[in-house]
Structure 1
């Protein structure tokens, strides 16, 4: 029997899967289920977060899952027994990263440049993750980061 069919019926009914999307693993949450598929993490309340949009995820000692997207949106779910979800989540997010390189910005600190792709697809974009204390809205800082990105793209062929 597939993992999808082992999901409780209410969890199956709540999933909005893309055509061909496969369930890898799941765990019960306080308000539904957390489901890891081959393309995205599905959270209670119908929240679907594609892996290429996840910057980081963590569980605390109370079973609270926190997912932070590349646009700094935060999602939470309490998952008392996460089963295999953390491993699947880590593997799938890491598989989306094509390049991750920290670059120093002259006299300013630095920025991590991250190229991501959809699972099995082409690069969908670059994310700028600035060092703590730097203002990502600063146009001068953004211009330096864009220059650094062009250098990384040339050197890595991405």
Structure 2
């Protein structure tokens, strides 16, 4: 019996990725537009409108989902959303889930004075280093409101004291 082997990433795509030293490809999938989505040890590489790739480090992926052939990615701190149609997803959805989950150090939801809440997330980059923190305010709250921001920062300071992060 012959085992099926995953198709190799084309050399031209690998060259266009310009991988950092020590960065390895973990999974890849062709897109409907003829490009590829590539999951590496440090980032998710998504096709860009200019024909190259946008690199989203794993700790910057707030949410990712796979539905009806589409990979949906939301970056942290109100960053852009990405929607890519994959023709043969292979192990990309599972790899994305595993890599994003691996960066999470702490998540905490807190109520804010006056109603509403904030989700505070601490994420560690895949290549190591300090924890990076982000705030996701509930719909209807202004993330630029200095009062809300100050409350969220105080909650974060309390969390850091309690956890030693």
Matched, 1:99 2:116: no
Gaps of 5+ in 1: none
SS at match of 1:82: coil
Runs of 4+ in 1 over 6 A off after TM superposition: none
Aligned to 1:7: 9
Matched, 1:59 2:77: no
Gaps of 5+ in 2: none
User: Any residues of structure 2 matched to 1:142-157 within 5 Å, and which?
Assistant: 142-157=149-164
Judging by fraction of residues, say which structure has more strand: 1
Aligned equivalent of 1:122, options 122, 129, 140: 129
Summarize deviations over 1:49-102 as a string: whole Å, max 9, x none: 1101111112331x2222111132122221122110011101101111111111
Q: Please give the alpha-carbon distance, in whole angstroms, between the structure 2 residues aligned to 1:51 and 1:11.
A: 20
SS at match of 1:86: helix
Aligned to 1:41: 44
Number of positions where the alignment pairs a residue of Structure 1 with one of Structure 2: 154
Q: Please give the alpha-carbon distance, in whole angstroms, between the structure 1 residues aligned to 2:31 and 2:139.
A: 32
Aligned to 1:27: 29
CA contact (8 A) 1:98 1:123 kept: no
Summarize deviations over 1:14-33 as a string: whole Å, max 9, x none: 21211000111111112311
**TM-score, length of structure 2 as denominator length:** 0.86
